[in-house]
């Protein structure tokens, strides 16, 4: 029987949504959506699909307790947690999961910090991708672009492969605004979502061909004993830090893309978060003890004390017990660097 095996990649420092998200509790674990976290939403994304197996979760040592608590509270409880001594990007993480899965398992590789609003539509797309994956290809999901985004990579779609999938003509790294505009308007390009579907055996075979040193390094880091969680050895820190896209997808001749339009966002800034949370009639998202006067288009959050904002538009104001952030919304992409400076000061 074919088993769909969710592989949830849960690394990352969470600095782009600082101070709601911190190194101790990065954004995928922060309860940003009516008390639920992006990690919990990712775990539940395949609920209801036939033959879904227990998840494989790849995370860092600092977040094992958060992962195990979320698994337990979600009712899943039986997921296998793979612990990286240090993050090495998505290819080593996915290959560790593939080595621990059954060869015939269809892996559905999902970053834990993405949002998908249309879950039913996503499940239908996964079913299509899984059918293609069983025939040999590695399938990724492309997001129909809604704007000339320079912060995402793009995929150019080639010939139809049937049932809503297309051959991958090329991958394009983050473009400048002019090129992004051309790609959005030509109808042949989609955003690279960073989500993949492939059998474990296919992923390992492609790694053998295209990034053998990465595969050998991950194999060497696997522990001999079958303790849980699975703790990768210190040699994992020497594995090349490389993405699945660069290590495999840009080199394989078996890449397919399934384009989707399902309310996807990688929540990479407060501006993107404001687009997907509840807002009032003035376009504000407010949480906590907040008083506003003549404020619009803003993200305001109070965690531990009263916050008053007056006469401002398009700002982010986030108060926690440890820090206060005030930044224009259109500069919220800078928050990661701001948080690193704050840590140094």
Q: Are 80 and 228 in contact (CB under 8 A)?
A: yes
For 301-335, the pLDDT digits (tens) are 999 999 999 999 999 999 999 999 999 999 998 99
Domains and CATH numbers, the chain: 4-265 (3.90.550.10), 270-344 (no CATH)
> φ, ψ for residue 240 (rounded to 5)?
-55, 135
Q: What average pLDDT does the segment 163-174 reach?
A: 93
Q: Which residue is listed with tokens 């985004």? A: 149
Give CA–CA dist 215/234, Å, rounded.
15
What pTM does this model have?
0.92
Residue 281 CB neighbours (<10 A): 6
For 189-239, the pLDDT digits (tens) are 999 999 999 999 999 999 999 999 999 999 999 998 777 899 999 999 999
Structure letter (DSSP) for residue 52: B
Strands (DSSP E) contained in the chain are 4-10, 56-60, 80-84, 106-111, 115-116, 138-143, 154-162, 165-172, 189-199, 230-231, 255-260, 264-265, 285-287, 290-293, 299-302, 307-310, 315-319, 324-328
Structure letter (DSSP) for residue 269: S
Q: What is the dihedral of CA 305, 308, 313, 314, to 10 degrees?
A: 0
Q: Looking at residue 78, what is its pLDDT? A: 75
| pLDDT of 258 above 90 | yes
Best CA proximity match to 140, nearest among 244, 240, 265: 244
| pLDDT of 175 above 90 | no
| pLDDT of 344 above 80 | no
Q: Which residues contact 225 (CB under 8 A, 6 or more apart)?
A: none
* Helix, coil or strand: residue 22: coil
| pLDDT of 76 above 80 | no
Give CA–CA dist 329/315, Å, rounded.
5
Q: What average pLDDT does the segment 109-130 reach?
A: 95
Give CA–CA dist 134/234, Å, rounded.
34
For 2-50, the pLDDT digits (tens) are 799 999 999 876 688 999 998 888 999 988 888 889 999 999 999 888 8
């Amino acid at each position: 029987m074919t088993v769909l095996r969710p592989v949830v990649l849960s690394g990352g420092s969470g600095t782009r949504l600082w101070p709601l998200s911190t190194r101790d509790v990065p954004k995928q674990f922060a309860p940003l959506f009516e008390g639920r976290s992006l990690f919990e939403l990712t775990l539940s994304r395949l609920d209801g699909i036939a033959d879904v197996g227990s998840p494989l979760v790849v995370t860092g040592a600092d977040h094992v307790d958060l992962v195990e608590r979320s698994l337990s509270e979600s009712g899943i409880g039986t997921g296998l947690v793979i612990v990286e001594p240090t993050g090495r990007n998505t290819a080593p993480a996915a290959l560790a999961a593939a080595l621990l899965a059954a060869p015939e398992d269809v892996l559905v590789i999902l970053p834990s910090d993405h949002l998908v609003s249309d879950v039913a539509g996503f499940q239908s797309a996964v079913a299509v991708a899984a059918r293609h994956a069983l025939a040999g290809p590695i399938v990724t999901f492309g997001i129909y672009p809604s704007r000339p985004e320079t912060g995402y990579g793009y995929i150019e779609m080639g010939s139809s492969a049937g049932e809503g999938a297309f051959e991958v003509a090329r991958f394009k790294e983050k473009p400048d605004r002019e090129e992004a505009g051309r790609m959005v308007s030509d109808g042949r390009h989609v955003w690279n979502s960073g989500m993949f579907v492939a059998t474990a055996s296919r992923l390992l075979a492609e790694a053998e061909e295209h990034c053998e040193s990465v595969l050998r390094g991950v194999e060497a880091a696997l522990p001999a004993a079958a303790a849980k969680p699975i703790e990768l050895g210190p040699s994992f820190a020497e594995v090349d830090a490389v993405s699945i896209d660069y290590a495999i997808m840009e080199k394989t001749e078996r890449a397919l893309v399934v384009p989707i339009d399902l309310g996807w966002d990688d929540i990479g800034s407060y501006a993107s978060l404001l687009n997907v949370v509840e807002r009032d009639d003035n376009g504000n998202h407010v949480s906590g003890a907040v008083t506003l006067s003549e404020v619009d288009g803003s993200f305001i959050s109070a965690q531990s004390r009263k916050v008053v904002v007056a006469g401002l538009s398009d700002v982010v104001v986030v108060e926690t017990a440890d820090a206060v952030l005030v930044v224009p919304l259109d500069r919220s992409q800078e928050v990661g660097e701001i948080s690193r400076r704050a840590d140094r000061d």
